[in-house]
Amino acid sequence: MLWLASGVGVTLVVVAGVAVFANSGDETSGDDPAAPTTSVDQADAPDPLPTNPAEEEAEPEPVVDPWESIPILFYSGPEGVYRTGTGFFAQFQVALPEGWMRAFPELPDIVELSPSAEACETDQTSAACVGLITVVDSGGPSVEETTTAIRTVAGVSSSEPVPAEVGDATGVRFQMWTDEPSATVATLGDGGRVVMSRTRIFQAYVLDVDGRAVTLFVDSPAESPMNETALPVLNSIAWRDLN
């Protein structure tokens, strides 16, 4: 797969200025509306005691949405909880079991969750690579149209879609396989591709997340169970816009 990365920079400039003006004039009478109104007694009154800063009520801290405060695509939180940032449309959090990690972290437009990144990169037929989950913002206007587009890819066969739900997002799921050496099942806007081969089976989930189709591909060796490893990870997914 080929991918493009992007970066974000922010510059903040603060400028402050204070101007003080004083006017002086000739004699002013008591009837003059511009005459000073401060009496001698008021002028001679002692200055108020300085305020103890410790006694002043501290201003409340601004409320920060943790989703918006993460400009990067993916970060690690406590106890194996991970969350996508503002660089990924379908923002979600997921709990990864021990040994799981994000594969290909340099890819900016895709999230791949792997039970063994090393095994998946070096030997995709190994049992250690069962359940590789790829989350893609399909960009499609609907679950139905996206499902049709994926199932009609040349050289790819699939089962009939059935209703499915992942993290309160509803849609459909179906299996995919191919007899070709390789087949591209999804193409991203930056030119990246999701590719399967004849040695792999995909379980595809096409979901409606905030009115936009999002696809999850669960990638496993053809002879291995599909969701035995991936199901706990799928069940832990929580989409931001549906919380």
- Which pTM does this prediction carry? 0.69
Rg (CA), the chain: 30
Comparing CA positions, the residue from 67, 234, 243 lying closest to residue 135 is 234
| Model pLDDT for residues 118-130, shown as the tens digit of each residue | 767 666 666 667 7
> Is residue 116 a contact partner of residue 191, using CB atoms and an 8 Å limit?
no
Number of other CB atoms surrounding residue 210 within 10 Å? 13
Q: What is the DSSP letter of 181?
A: S
Q: Which helix (H) or strand (E) holds 232?
A: helix 231-236
Q: Which helix (H) or strand (E) holds 45?
A: none
| Helix, coil or strand: residue 39 | coil
Place of tokens 């994926």: 150
Along the 243 residues of the chain, how does pLDDT read in single tens digits?
Answer: 333 333 333 222 222 333 333 344 444 444 444 444 433 444 455 555 556 655 567 777 777 677 777 778 888 777 788 888 888 888 899 999 888 888 777 777 788 888 876 767 666 666 667 788 889 876 667 999 999 989 998 899 999 999 999 999 999 999 999 998 888 888 766 666 788 888 888 999 999 998 889 999 998 888 776 667 788 999 999 998 654
Q: What is the CATH number of domain 74-238?
A: 3.40.1000.10
